[in-house]
Amino acid sequence: MSRCMRSILTSLALLAALGVVLGIGLAVVYADHIYSPYEGLTKLQVIDPAHDASGGFDARFDEPVDPAAAPGLLREAARWAKASHATLLRQNALGYNVCAASDLLESVVGADALGPDAAPGAYVRDDPAFLDPCVSDGLLFPGRADLPVLGTFDPAVAPALLAEADALLSFATLSSGDANMDAVEGVYYTDAADAEGLAALFEGAGYRVYVMSRPLSAALAELPANLLSEDPSPASRSSRSWRCSSAWAT
């Protein structure tokens, strides 16, 4: 084999290796900073500092969470959604508590259903496997929750986020007078153009807020800053999250 041919083969091998490395790098960036299965939604996790496995309560930085403030805080979150013309969802064991002030779920439960001023109640999955054991006499979990069933929804026409949900509960069932800090903690989704106000609301009450994913347009706009500022440690990278204070830094 001539020297020229060996040089060509070596160059091709190096280019192939470089392509593999670049491909892996782009895949990591996409998975960590861009990809979201719920396009158009911001996903936030709200945690009491005392329950945060990444770092417990620290009196130097954390305000203590007041359980008695939970009902009012959740009603403030509903007012934020109304003022922002946005839909706010909080994940629960059955599906989601919903405060709908946008058209995100209009094709699922209809306009004005599960809005900020909706009474306690639920839309339930149109599936006999769920309806037969869980709904009777127009009530969800009769004798226990006794939630009025407002109607049914078809998961086939719902956003991907709701594909596995059995029930969509009004936000009023979450922000009732007996709500506690456990009702505040959890995973929230919103289609608001800017969720900074929602994050500030929870953080102002002493909770930690982590932004788990952003809409694609926001993720791309913030990508350079996040790549330059992110903690390179494995623990930080594996969490795929960052605090709101850095996510919306100006």
Q: What is the overall mean pLDDT for the chain? A: 76
Angle between helices 70-83 and 196-204 (to 10 degrees): 170
Asked if pLDDT for residue 9 goes beyond 80, the answer is: no
> What pTM does this model have?
0.70
Q: What is the pLDDT of residues 176-233, one digit of tens each?
A: 655 566 788 999 999 998 899 999 999 988 888 988 765 444 444 554 555 555 544 3
Measure the CA–CA gap between 107 and 110, rounded to whole angstroms. 6
More confident site: 119 or 112: 119
Split at pLDDT 50, 70, 90, the class of 250 is very low
Answer yes or no: is pLDDT of 86 > 80: yes
Range of lowest pLDDT (17-21, 34-38, 106-110, 246-250) = 246-250
Task: Please state the domain extents for the chain.
Answer: 42-216
Does residue 162 surpass a pLDDT of 70?
A: yes
Please tell me whether residue 244 adopts helix, strand or coil conformation.
Answer: helix
> Is the pLDDT at 63 greater than 90, yes or no?
no
Among candidate residues 104, 99, 74, 109, the one with its CA nearest the CA of residue 182 = 74
CA 84 to chain centre: 17
| Spatial distance between the Cα atoms of 205 and 169, rounded to a whole number of angstroms | 24
β-sheet bridge partners, residue 139 = 136, 148
Distance CA 123, CA 130 (A): 12
Output the pLDDT for position 232.
41
